Amino acid sequence: MEMLKAFIHIKVTEQHNDEVEDQDEQIMGTLKYLT
């Protein structure tokens, strides 16, 4: 059970990191567009 919890936690964290990276790319793209 602990292994499963750890695995799910890793997957959720990876997905969250991907979402944050996408947001960063959108922000950088917007800044490039504005400047």
Per residue of the chain (35 residues), what is the pLDDT tens digit?
Answer: 788 999 989 898 898 889 989 999 998 998 888 77
**What three-state secondary structure class fits 6?**
helix
pTM of the model: 0.53
Distance CA 35, CA 29 (A): 10
Q: Distance between terminal CA atoms of the chain? A: 51
Say what the pLDDT of residue 22 is.
92
Say what the pLDDT of residue 25 is.
92
Distance CA 28, CA 21 (A): 10
Distance CA 19, CA 33 (A): 21
